[in-house]
Amino acid sequence: MKIKLQRSDKIFEYEVPLNGVTLLEALGYIKENIDSTLAFSSGCRSSVCGSCAVRVNDKEVLACAYKPKDDDLIQPLRNMPILRDLAVDMDRALAFNKIAKAWGLPKEEALHVSGEDAKRNELQSDCILCSACFSACPVYSVNEDFIGPFALTRSLRYVNDIRQKDIKPTIEAIQTNGIYDCTLCNECVPVCPQGIAPKQDIEILRNKSGIMGYLNPNILAGFDDGLNF
Amino acid sequence: MVDVLVIGGGGAGLTAAIHAKKDGANVALVSKTYPTRSQTCMAQGGINAAIGADDSIQSHISDTLKSAQGLADEELVGILCEHGVDAIKWLDKIGVPFSRNKGIAQRKMGGASFVRACYAKDYTGLKILHTLYDQCNAYDINMLSERFLIDLAVIDGKVYGAYLLNIKTSTVELFHAKSVILATGGYAKVYGKHSTNHVGSTADGIAAALRAGAKISNMEFIQFHPTALKKSSILISESARGAGGYLVNSKAERFTDELASRDKVSLAITNEMQKGEEIYLDVRHLSAKFIDEHLPQEKKLADLYENIDLTKQLIPILPAAHYTMGGICVDKNCTTNIQGLYAVGECANHMVHGANRLGGNSLLEIVVFGKIAGEAACAYAKKEMPACKVDKHKDILSQINTNPTVDFYKRRAELAEIFYTHVGVKRNEQGLLEALEYIQALQNELKNMGVKNIKLAYNTELAEFLEFKNLVLTAKTVVLSALRRKESRGAHYREDMPNKDDNFSTDTICYQENDEIKFP
Ligand SMILES: Cc1cc2nc3c(=O)[nH]c(=O)nc-3n(C[C@H](O)[C@H](O)[C@H](O)COP(=O)(O)OP(=O)(O)OC[C@H]3O[C@@H](n4cnc5c(N)ncnc54)[C@H](O)[C@@H]3O)c2cc1C
Ligand code: SF4
Ligand code: SF4
Ligand code: FES
């Protein structure tokens, strides 16, 4: 099998004499047998640690869950600095979780959570922080401070948790460079290996923000234009 | 300079960091991977705690002691099980999305007298790990990733920090700290492709502790999971057998009780394999609906790694190294024999698993002892004076051979095969001696190994070589310990000495002195 890898600004071709293996195994083969300088990230090999996301023919996939075909072009994720080859620096992307204040803020007393309550954020808490959605999001080409899909999904996870003492800090944290900067383009949805739809989560957060009295600055801007007219 | 430096971002490290910070310490957490990528995310089954109406702490204690086969410490098992209930309450409070029925949903795992393992779908470890990570953000804990622990800075039996390799730049940094908590995970990757573990379970913390003069114990005890996929050692969870899956040989005969404990089933499979049989897991008789509901991960993984449809085909399996009971010696406050150095989680031996870990007890261990370690390290740091000056520029990289004549990747794969064959489910004197000889030859050969990649930016070959050296050192302690334990107990099965012997109801403790492994 012949696969093409983008390493810095060049494309390299490798012949991997294995069949029916995952892309991650093929990368391991190249590193151990052909070129030990190749860099990529891995961990669990079973699609749960979120280490190995890359782009194959322009679409984000987990290398450990993808079977490569002849002539596939493998590239690193977008929207973050490349450390080397397919390995990217996640520091900045992960920092958005903190900017979004996506964390548990527990009530003093313990609470009974029903099965139905638990369903309210079950899907959002399946996120493995692989960054596939972050890489697919077009907003970063115009606003690199956009809080972005996974951090906003994480916000909804906690906003929708009945154990949360106060959801206001989280909602407030995602008004600027957050929910209204998303264009609702849906690019983040099909690439998520966990079936999460950050776009939908963002729409829910917009509704909740509206109910809590936060205003959509875009509508406001439109309104201003109207007055000037 | 910080009060508490936590090394390792799995469940143990994150819990320790949160509690140290809560108690007022200035905390930093470093890890070689991003915290959410740690092995803890792979735990599917659950976390034990006696919260069920019929269950009792006493029953949890006695199940744990029974499985430990005389090698656990009753007081520590008591701490684990008693604090277990509060640990679950705490996890619930900070937002772990447990599955629910009447309360937190629980399932039965092997060796438990009651339904005791609290779970969050098939993602128990993932959801706990991510919730803890979010708490670290809430507590504003400084988390630095891509930092590889090379060695601890220890002078006269006291720790002053650690030497870390910044993988992004290949520079070595001394991180000053009043106290250090090791939470670097286990060593099952000695078995390479014959392990279910995360690629990073390479014994780095244990090896660094050993080099710094710490004692380690019970390294010979390694739990093998009976059902890992043959080609990749990816875990097929116990629930496949629990739900009625059969184990069969090449002649399609069942040969063992599928529901017996992990060590017994692994042994039965190994016996069968030694007769030349191939072993399969058969779930074809379970309904497609049941498989879609209860074994969706396994269905996907069998397709991905074995190219088979498990509803129609047999699943080729093998036992694989899954959990390492041995580790750095600690007391009930997670203190090591080095002043200011603490250890917690799979890298430590908390004396709660003994000769065989009970499924669901290790996630519990990392949360219960994570709290204890964080609090103890914080209390220590508060009364400690600022650290003394330690050698700032420990020159580690210039000692690495950049013109290697021996390929360490080849040796790493060989070591894994030798370990799986001779230090695996079944052991005997002759095989262990062969393994020892191999390791000694490997140690002599290490000077001819090194890295071909001399680039500084994100040199993963360098990190993997350092891991390999740690594996070799740790492998030696495993073999030497296994040779000394002339009996069979729990996960340590000697075919030449198949019975338990009361003379060996003690821990196998060792340390390193002048480059030699010694047993006091
Ligand atoms: C497939 C699988 C399923 C499991 N299922 C269960 C289950 O259902 N229930 C249960 O109780 N247990 C289960 N376990 C066991 C349990 O997951 C582990 O014992 C536990 O997660 C260990 O946690 P830890 O925090 O000690 O280490 P880990 O989660 O392994 O974390 C180690 C951390 O240390 C860091 N590190 C390592 N070396 C270095 C270094 N040199 N420098 C810097 N950082 C370093 C790593 O990056 C990582 O962040 C399972 C294990 C596996 C493999
Ligand atoms: S829907 Fe929003 S978050 Fe998702 S990719 Fe488009 S702009 Fe980015
Ligand atoms: S939302 Fe999906 S794609 Fe985005 S980081 Fe989480 S798991 Fe990955
Ligand atoms: S290696 Fe963990 S998600 Fe691929």
For the stretch B309-365, pLDDT in tens is 999 999 999 999 999 999 999 999 999 999 999 999 999 999 999 999 999 999 999
ipTM for the whole predicted complex goes beyond 0.90: yes
Q: Report how far residue B18's alpha carbon sits from residue B14's, in angstroms, rounded to the nearest whole number.
A: 6
Asked if A121 and B126 come within 8 Å (Cβ–Cβ), the reply is: no
Domains: count for chain B = 1
pLDDT band at A226 (very low <50, low <70, confident <90, very high): very low
CATH assignment of A91-222, among 3.30.870.10, 1.10.1060.10, 3.40.630.10, 2.60.40.790: 1.10.1060.10
What is the CATH class of A2-88?
Answer: alpha beta
Residue-level pLDDT at A109:
84
Asked if B37 and A45 come within 8 Å (Cβ–Cβ), the reply is: no
Residue-level pLDDT at A221:
59
Beta bridge partners, A164, equal A106
Q: Among partner residues B234, B300, B458, which is closest to A45 by beta-carbon distance?
A: B234
Residue-level pLDDT at B393:
64
Q: What is the mean pLDDT of chain A?
A: 94
Q: What is the dihedral of CA A130, A131, A133, A138, to 10 degrees?
A: -160
pLDDT band at A229 (very low <50, low <70, confident <90, very high): very low
- Examine the pLDDT at B116 and tell me if it is beyond 70: yes
Interface test with B, best of A22, A37, A114 (most B CBs within 10 A): A37
Residue-level pLDDT at B287:
87
> What's the CA-to-centroid distance between B429 and ligand 4, angstroms?
38
Assess contact for A56 and A11: CB atoms under 8 A: no
More confident residue, B293 or A95: A95
What percent of chain B lies above the pLDDT cut of 70?
98
What's the mean pLDDT in B152-163?
94
Ligand of minimum distance to the alpha carbon of A154: 3
What's the mean pLDDT in A96-106?
97
- Extended strands (E) in A26-92: 53-56, 59-62, 73-75, 82-84, 87-88
Residue of B nearest to A124 (CA): B97
For the stretch B375-423, pLDDT in tens is 999 999 999 776 676 776 667 778 899 999 999 999 999 999 999 999 9
> What's the CA-to-centroid distance between B216 and ligand 3, angstroms?
39
- Examine the pLDDT at A220 and tell me if it is beyond 70: no
**Which residue's C-alpha comes closest to atom 5 of ligand 2?**
A137
* Residue B284 backbone dihedrals phi, psi, to 5 degrees: -65, -25
Task: Select which of B262, B411, B412, B494 is catalytic.
Answer: B262
Asked if B123 and A39 come within 8 Å (Cβ–Cβ), the reply is: no
Give A187→chain B minimum CA distance, Å.
24
Q: Collapse the DSSP code of B29 into the 3-class scheme (helix H, G, I; strand E, B; otherwise coil) and give the result.
A: strand
Interface A–B counts its CB contacts (< 8 A) at: 151
Spans of all domains in chain A: 2-88, 91-222
Atom of ligand 1 nearest to the CA of B14: 25
> What's the CA-to-centroid distance between A218 and ligand 2, angstroms?
16
Among B408, B486, B390, CA closest to B159: B390
What's the mean pLDDT in B47-74?
96
Among A123, A136, A103, CA closest to A194: A123
Assess contact for A59 and A72: CB atoms under 8 A: no
- Examine the pLDDT at B57 and tell me if it is beyond 80: yes
Q: What is the mean pLDDT of chain B?
A: 95
What percent of chain B lies above the pLDDT cut of 90?
88
CATH number for position B239: 3.90.700.10
Q: Among partner residues B97, B459, B460, which is closest to A122 by beta-carbon distance?
A: B97
Task: Decide if B262 is catalytic.
Answer: yes
* Residue A140 backbone dihedrals phi, psi, to 5 degrees: -65, -20
Give A142→chain B minimum CA distance, Å.
27
Asked if B461 and A32 come within 8 Å (Cβ–Cβ), the reply is: no
**Which residue's C-alpha comes closest to atom 3 of ligand 2?**
A149
From A21, A23, A40, A46, mutation site for ligand 4 pocket: most ligand atoms within 8 A of C-beta: A46
For the stretch B224-270, pLDDT in tens is 999 999 999 999 988 888 888 999 999 999 999 998 888 899 999 99
Give A216→chain B minimum CA distance, Å.
27
Residue-level pLDDT at B253:
95
Q: Report how far residue B335's alpha carbon sits from residue B153's, in angstroms, rounded to the nearest whole number.
A: 17
**Any residues with Cβ below 6 Å from ligand 4, and which?**
A 42-45, 47-52, 62, 64
What's the mean pLDDT in B367-376?
98
The whole domain housing B260 covers 222-322
B229: in domain: yes
Q: Among partner residues A43, A154, A161, which is closest to B199 by beta-carbon distance?
A: A43
**B contacts of A91 (beta carbons < 8 Å):** 145
Residue-level pLDDT at B297:
84
Q: Report how far residue B334's alpha carbon sits from residue B99's, in angstroms, rounded to the nearest whole number.
A: 31
Among B245, B271, B252, B248, CA closest to B424: B271
More confident residue, B452 or B204: B204
For the stretch A154-213, pLDDT in tens is 999 999 999 999 999 999 999 999 999 999 999 999 999 999 999 999 999 999 999 999
Atom of ligand 3 nearest to the CA of A50: 8
For the stretch B266-282, pLDDT in tens is 999 999 999 999 999 99
Give B156→chain A minimum CA distance, Å.
37
Q: Report how far residue A100's alpha carbon sits from residue A91's, in angstroms, rounded to the nearest whole number.
A: 15
Q: Report how far residue B235's alpha carbon sits from residue B15's, in angstroms, rounded to the nearest whole number.
A: 26
Give A122→chain B minimum CA distance, Å.
7
pTM for this one? 0.97
A14 lines ligand 3 (CB under 6 A): no
Ligand of minimum distance to the alpha carbon of A202: 2
Q: Report how far residue B220's alpha carbon sits from residue B228's, in angstroms, rounded to the nearest whole number.
A: 21
**B contacts of A101 (beta carbons < 8 Å):** 138
Q: Report how far residue A143's alpha carbon sits from residue A134's, in angstroms, rounded to the nearest whole number.
A: 13
Asked if A46 and B135 come within 8 Å (Cβ–Cβ), the reply is: no
Residue B305 neighbours by CB under 8 Å, 6+ apart: A22, B229, B231, B232, B234
Ligand of minimum distance to the alpha carbon of B46: 1
Assess contact for B379 and B359: CB atoms under 8 A: no
Task: Print the SS3 string covering B442-483.
Answer: HHHHHHHCECCCCCCCCCHHHHHHHHHHHHHHHHHHHHHHHH
Ligand of minimum distance to the alpha carbon of A196: 3
For the stretch B418-448, pLDDT in tens is 999 999 999 999 999 999 999 999 999 999 9
* Residue B352 backbone dihedrals phi, psi, to 5 degrees: -110, -20
Atom of ligand 2 nearest to the CA of A148: 3
Assess contact for B34 and B209: CB atoms under 8 A: no
Q: If you search the block for the tokens 């030798």, which residue do you land on? A: B418
B72: in domain: no
**Which residue's C-alpha comes closest to atom 4 of ligand 3?**
A133
From B184, B237, B357, mutation site for ligand 1 pocket: most ligand atoms within 8 A of C-beta: B184
| Angle CA A105–A111–A112, to nearest 5 | 135
Minimum mean pLDDT among A36-45, A211-220, B149-158, B172-181: which range?
A211-220
Assess contact for B142 and B5: CB atoms under 8 A: no
Residue B134 neighbours by CB under 8 Å, 6+ apart: A97, A102, A103, A104, A154, A158, B95
Residue-level pLDDT at B431:
98
From A153, A186, A187, A201, mutation site for ligand 3 pocket: most ligand atoms within 8 A of C-beta: A153
For the stretch A127-149, pLDDT in tens is 999 999 999 999 999 999 999 99
| Angle CA B491–B496–B498, to nearest 5 | 50
Q: Among partner residues A37, A161, A164, which is closest to B455 by beta-carbon distance?
A: A37
